[in-house]
């Protein structure tokens, strides 16, 4: 009897092989030859997989195994099962943000890249400004949310921000309003032809502005962001003029223009060309009459520019 049983087992083993049926939540995925080898494959290709920005992987369901006898001609399908299991994972991705004064400026893939960006920028600006740069780990489960940059692009982005901060720190401000642009470009040949407070026979009172003599048609640029509150012919002697309100009680006035480009109600940005130099109104030659007013009172522009 023992011989017969052994013979039956031998015949079964010749025709069949022991395999493991793999299921998740009762749904059959396929068959594998070795539970141990397949678990190692799961660990390597899923749980401990290596990829861009991958921090860790969690397999949300655990495979179930059942020992089966399967025809030796029947093939197992480990790779197909692995592919199906990958759809049952949660992947957490990590990248690194470089912040300036707690504001994210750029993101890179690795800590080493972030450290290099911070070191390079601090070195570049060490003689100009003290920077509050930090590196913060960022996590997401959505790969599409990651928008990282190369070191070169990250540094360029950060440089632009720092340059703006330096420019802002060095910019002339009146009541918190930044006078970011000179009204006449520095490459234009100009002469200060009349200063604030001067008295002459051509005026009934002291000069309320600064006269900047240059060629007719020269572009006049608005000095700061604001809204145009007057654009037309001024009968008090300024001729064609534009007045811009910048907020906080600050206004600038541009007089004796030959052409007016900006209109009343128009929002203008610092550096916009709003008019052209001329000699209209009470004028003895082409020049820009520039006034700066605080709460309606004219102040000396040379406290801030052309000094």
At residue 3, the pLDDT reads 60
Q: Rounded to two decimals, what is the model's pTM?
A: 0.61
How far from each other are the two terminal CA atoms of the chain, in whole angstroms?
118
Label residue 107 by pLDDT band (50, 70, 90).
very high
Instruction: Answer yes or no: is pLDDT of 306 > 90.
Output: no
88 touches 24 (CB < 8 A): yes
Q: What tens digit of pLDDT does each residue of 210-240 get?
A: 999 999 999 999 999 999 999 999 999 999 9
Structure tokens at 241: 């003029």
The whole-angstrom separation of Cα 9 and Cα 3 is 10
Task: State the burial class of residue 145 (Cβ atoms within 10 Å of its Cβ: 0-12, 13-18, 19+).
Answer: exposed
Average pLDDT over residues 194-218: 88
Pairing of strands 54-59, 89-100: antiparallel
Domain made up of 179-303: CATH architecture: Distorted Sandwich (2.70)
277 vs 199: CA distance, rounded Å = 23
Q: What is the pLDDT of residues 63-92, one digit of tens each?
A: 999 998 888 878 899 999 999 999 999 999
Dihedral angle over CA of 142, 147, 151, 152, nearest 10: 170
φ, ψ of residue 234 to 5 degrees: the values are -95, 120
Which helix (DSSP H) or strand (DSSP E) does residue 6 occupy?
Answer: helix 2-15
Q: Is the pLDDT of residue 273 over 90?
A: yes
Is pLDDT above 60 for 165?
A: yes
As a whole number of angstroms, the distance between CA 233 and CA 155 comes to 49
- According to DSSP, the residues that pair with 139 across neighbouring strands are 94
Closest CA to 250 of 195, 156, 172, 136: 172
- Domain boundaries, given as residue ranges, for the chain: 13-87, 93-170, 179-303
Q: What are the C-alpha distances in Å from 188 to residues 60, 211, 220, 225, 286? A: 70, 15, 11, 22, 14
Query: At residue 14, does pLDDT exceed 80?
Result: no
- The CA distance from 104 to 149, in Å, is 13
Question: 92 near 55, Cβ under 8 Å?
Answer: yes
């Amino acid at each position: 009897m023992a011989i017969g049983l052994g013979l039956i087992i031998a015949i079964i083993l010749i025709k069949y092989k022991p395999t493991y049926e793999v299921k998740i939540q009762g749904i059959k995925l396929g068959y594998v030859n070795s539970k141990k080898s397949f678990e190692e494959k799961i660990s390597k290709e899923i749980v401990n997989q290596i990829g861009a920005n991958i921090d860790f992987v969690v397999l949300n369901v655990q495979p179930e195994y059942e020992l089966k006898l399967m025809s030796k001609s029947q093939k197992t399908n480990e790779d197909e099962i692995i592919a199906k299991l990958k759809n049952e994972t949660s992947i957490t991705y990590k990248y690194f943000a470089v912040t300036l004064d707690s504001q994210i400026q750029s993101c890179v893939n690795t800590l080493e890249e972030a450290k290099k960006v911070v070191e390079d920028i601090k070195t570049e600006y060490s003689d100009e400004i003290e920077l509050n740069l930090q590196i913060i780990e960022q996590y997401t489960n959505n790969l599409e949310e990651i928008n990282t940059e190369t070191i070169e692009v990250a540094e360029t982005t950060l440089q632009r921000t720092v340059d703006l901060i330096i420019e802002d720190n060095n910019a002339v401000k009146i009541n918190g309003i930044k006078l970011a642009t000179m009204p006449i470009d520095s490459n234009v040949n100009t002469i200060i032809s009349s200063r604030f407070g001067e008295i002459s026979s051509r005026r009934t009172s002291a000069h309320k502005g600064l006269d900047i003599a240059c060629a007719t048609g020269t572009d006049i640029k608005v000095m700061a962001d604001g809204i145009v509150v007057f654009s037309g012919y001024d009968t008090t002697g300024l001729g064609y003029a534009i007045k811009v309100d910048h907020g906080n009680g600050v206004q600038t006035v541009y007089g004796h223009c030959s052409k007016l480009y900006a209109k009343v109600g128009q929002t203008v940005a610092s550096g916009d060309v709003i008019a052209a130099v001329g000699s209209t109104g009470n004028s003895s030659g082409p020049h820009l009459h520039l006034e700066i007013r605080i709460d309606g009172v004219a102040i000396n522009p040379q406290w801030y520019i052309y000094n």
